[in-house]
A and B are shown apart, each in its own frame.
Chain A
Amino acid sequence: MKTGEQRRTIVLQGIGVSPGVAIGVAHLIRRVDAPISRYQLPDRSLIAEEIRRFRKALKDSESQLLEIKRKFRDQQEGLETLYILDVHIMILKDKMLYKQTVQNIEDRGINAEWALRMTVDRYREVFSKVEDDYLRERVSDVEYAGQRILRNLAGVHHETISGIGENAVIIGRDLSPADTMQMKVEKIQGFATEMGGKTSHTAIVARAYEIPAVVGIEKITAEARTGDIIIVDGTAGAVIVNPDPEIIRRYEEKKRHYETIEDSLLKNARKTATTLDKHRVLMGANIEFTEEIASAVKHGADGIGLYRTEFIYINRDRLPTEEEHFCTYKKVVESRGIRWSTIRTFDLGGDKFISDARLAPEMNPVMGLRAIRFCLQEVDLFKGQLRAILRASAYGKTKVLFPMISGMEELRETKRIFEEVKKELKRDGIPYGKDVKMGIMIEVPSAVIIADDLAREVDFFSIGTNDLIQYTLAIDRVNERVSYLYEPLHPAVLKLIHRVVEAGHRAGIEVSICGEMAGEPVYTMILLGLGLDELSMNALVIPRIKKLIRSITIKECRKLVNRVMTFNTASEIEFFVRDCMRRKFKDDLQGH
């Protein structure tokens, strides 16, 4: 595009991973797509100089990473991030990377940039043929390292990143821990990247700092240029490049609206979720990373209602040690401002962290060897996690939650192992909390049916509606052709939840809910009416749900439930509930 030409407005869709609206100036972090030119060295006598230049770029890159690593360590960031930096440093020092690039320069008499590109391309090709997912992803590490060398060859140093302006929206293909480390993250308005998902590094950083972010946007690095005005709508997952003044005005309004709602809601976030007729509901936050705890507290969580431990296992190349488990759990349970932490044990298929031929990909992983089933087969792994949870329980109120229990034998076996671990700790003189509550997820329909029996064996129930709905209605949520059948308000689903709550209360135990349903304002009255003691959800929606609860009575919730229980289709229930909520809360349900 020629300069001076009116740049056209482009709207791109991605995955919103951190909510909010940002309007700023695009700052492109060049990486793989940076154009590199090939040129022939005019004279073979220049080869030695070219190699020297390459060597200097390697050295500079290495010292930059070492510097970043030092800063990282000072900030006591996660071990895993440090480890990625170590891998990048080793790549920079790699003998073969050096040898091949030098050889390319010598044999072809070409510039160092192109010679390096050839080496990186070769590794890309080799890795792309590897069957192992993890190793295949190592290409990105080679790319990160390669790009850093290229930047140094170009004489562009990391100042390009740390020297970004006040209103910058960072755009890139993907951001490495080293990239975000160099930025003054507090000053960044937003992130928009091509790669990544909810658990990518960018997403985690963005959520931790509450910066709007959208990832998985195709072609963003090709469409946006440094200096472009750009809007990042992290709530809707949209990015607008070169918005016209009208769009900017609208988004400024949206941003203001979002912030004022947030501000007024946040002001009251720490007030309890108590209905007008004095019925108190506990509010839990669902978290995946310890970085999210501060935000959970700020948004008014009474406790951590669901800590998903899967991320300790995945995205790494080695099983976590008991010590690593322990450190993470300790950080969770001893966090200030929360009254309890419910830690759920491993809830994925075994193939996620063990490369074992016996754990070949399953046809139907949701119903396969996963969660508690897998743990009961790999008892040593399971015990390691339980030991760590129990050890952490000495530092704060801890509840252990076992996923996917489908029957009594499973529960008893789980309890037996749990007690065994306690005994071992006692024997070894290792302290653990005296009052660790033990509960189970109710997400398999069979568990609902025998809930009365299960309730006598545990301290609490937590209903996982996502899976419960999926199993009950026999719907694969990710299959678009049947996803229309996924109906949280299906009469069968409501009856099952009702049954679980009744069974729990008969046995005198608390019943909570931790599926997505809990964070949807439309369902709040229904859930309260059904008698749930605790709702656990994404922390960001807690203020809104709390505000809603404070403006209703438990009596009208029960009345609503009694009424909808007489309907026999999901659409009738849905219509009735939405209509009722709409009449009651004209303003607060917008967007739901």
Chain B
Amino acid sequence: MIIEKSLRIKNELGIHARSAAMIVRAVEHCKSSVVLERDGVQVDAKSLLDILTLACPKDSTIVVRANGDDAQDVVDRIAKLVEDKFGEPA
């Protein structure tokens, strides 16, 4: 099963080390393969370093794509992190 979702980064700092670490933690134990894509560049969502290389600032859009049994669950989890601004204070 392939699930795909487009997400707009809402937190002020964009995807920095802490937020990237949260993504990795959210997906590292899932069965699906998960990629993040920005402007045609695609990286593995289970790698902190690769996520950082995307350099996503606030208001940038990324696509999450998961392929596997728990794909829906994984995409939802990332979407929630983005939605919650990675816990950054408002």
Residues of chain A at the chain B interface (Cβ within 8 Å) = 83, 86-87, 90-91, 94-97, 123, 126-127, 130-132, 134-135, 138, 141-142, 317-319, 321-322, 354-357, 380, 384
Residues of chain B contacted by A355 (CB below 8 angstroms) = 12-14, 57-58
Q: How far is the CB of B17 from chain A (nearest CB, A)?
A: 5
Q: Do residues B53 and A384 form an inter-chain contact, with CB atoms below 8 A?
A: no
Per the bound structure, the CA–CA distance linking A142 and B90 in Å amounts to 30
Q: Which residues of B contact A87 (CB under 8 A)?
A: 17-18, 21, 48
Question: What would be 22 A-B contacts, judged by CB atoms less than 8 Å apart?
Answer: A86-B21, A90-B24, A91-B48, A94-B48, A95-B47, A123-B49, A127-B52, A132-B55, A138-B17, A317-B13, A317-B17, A317-B18, A317-B19, A318-B13, A318-B18, A318-B19, A319-B13, A319-B88, A319-B89, A322-B89, A355-B14, A355-B58
Quick check: is B70 within 8 A (CB to CB) of the other chain?
no
8 additional contacts, CB 8 Å, given A135-B52, A318-B16, A355-B13? A91-B49, A94-B47, A95-B44, A123-B49, A142-B49, A355-B58, A357-B59, A380-B90
Chain A's interface: helix, strand, loop or mixed, by majority? helix
Task: Find chain A residues with CB under 8 A from B21 CB.
Answer: 86-87, 90
Q: Which of A94, A97, A130, A141 contacts B55 (CB 8 A)?
A: A130
B46 interfacial contact with A, CB 8 Å: yes
CA of A131 to CA of B60 in the docked complex: distance in angstroms?
14
* Complex Cα gap A132–B16 (Å): 10
Q: Using Cβ atoms and an 8 Å threshold, which residues of chain B touch A126?
A: 53
Known: A132-B55, A384-B89. Contact between A90 and B48, CB under 8 A?
A: yes
A87 closest partner in B (C-beta): B17
Question: In the complex, which residue of chain A has the Cβ closest to the Cβ of B48?
Answer: A90
Nearest-CB distance from A148 to chain B (Å)? Answer: 15
Taken together as a complex, chains A and B put the C-alpha atoms of A385 and B65 apart, in Å, by 39
Question: Is there contact, CB below 8 Å, between B47 and A135?
Answer: no
Give the Cβ gap from A275 to chain B, nearest Cβ, in Å.
48
Interface size bucket, B side? 20 to 34
**Distance, CA A302 to CA B51, complexed state (A):** 49
Contact B49 A319 (CB under 8 A): no
- Asked if B49 and A94 make an inter-chain contact with CB atoms under 8 angstroms apart, the answer reads yes
- Tell me, in angstroms, the Cα distance from A446 to B52 when the chains sit together: 46
| The 9 nearest A-B residue pairs measured at CB | A317-B16, A96-B47, A130-B55, A95-B47, A126-B53, A90-B48, A96-B50, A95-B46, A87-B17
User: A83–B59 Cα gap in the complex (Å)?
Assistant: 25
Residues of the A chain whose Cβ atoms lie less than 8 Å from the Cβ of B46: 95
| Complex Cα spacing A384 to B48, Å | 31
Nearest neighbor of A86 in chain B, beta-carbon distance? B21
CA A357 to CA B14, docked complex, whole Å: 12
CB distance from A332 to the nearest CB of B (A): 21
Q: Contact string, B8-39, partner A, CB cutoff 8 A, digits 1/0?
A: 00001110111101001000000000000000
Find B57's partner among A90, A132, A318 (CB 8 Å cutoff).
A132
Shortest distance in angstroms between A101's beta carbon and chain B's nearest beta carbon?
A: 12
Shortest CB distance A83–B (Å): 7
Nearest Cβ on chain B to A80's Cβ, whole angstroms = 11
In the complex, which of the residues B48, B53, B57, B86 contacts A127, with contact meaning CB atoms closer than 8 Å? B53
Q: How far, in angstroms, from A96 to B53 measured CA to CA in the complex?
A: 12
Closest Cβ neighbor of B12 among chain A residues: A354
CB distance from B87 to the nearest CB of A (A): 8
Instruction: Answer whether A97 and B17 are a contact pair too, CB < 8 Å, given A319-B89, A321-B89.
Output: no
Across the two chains, which residue of chain B brings its CB closest to A127?
B53
Nearest-CB residue, chain B, relative to A354: B12
Q: Roughly how many angstroms separate A322 CA and B90 CA in the complex, as a whole number?
A: 11
Q: Which residues of B contact A317 (CB under 8 A)?
A: 13, 16-19
A319 to B58, CA, bound (A): 14
Residues of B within 8 A of A96 (CB): 44, 47, 49-50
- Report Cα–Cα, A554/B46, bound state, in Å: 69
Residues of A within 8 A of B12 (CB): 319, 354-356
A237 vs chain B, min Cβ distance (A): 32
Is the CB–CB distance between B14 and A132 below 8 Å? yes
- For B71-90 the 0/1 string (1 means CB < 8 A from A) is 00000000000000010111
CA distance A319 to B88 in the complex (A): 7
Query: From residue A462, how far is it (CB to closest CB) to chain B in Å?
Result: 29
* Residues of the B chain whose Cβ atoms lie less than 8 Å from the Cβ of A90: 21, 24, 48
A218 to B18, CA, bound (A): 32
A97 to B58, CA, bound (A): 26
Chain B neighbourhood of A142, CB < 8 A: 49
B13 touches A97 (CB 8 A): no
Q: Nearest Cβ distance between residue B66 and chain A, in whole angstroms?
A: 15
CB-defined contacts of A131 to chain B, threshold 8 Å: 55
- Chain B residues with CB under 8 Å of A86's CB are 21
B50:A356 contact, CB within 8 angstroms: no
What's the least CB distance linking A389 to chain B, in Å?
A: 16
For B16, what are the chain A residues with a Cβ–Cβ distance below 8 Å?
134-135, 317-318
* Docked CA distance A96–B44 (Å): 8
| Complexed CA–CA distance, A135 and B59 (Å) | 17
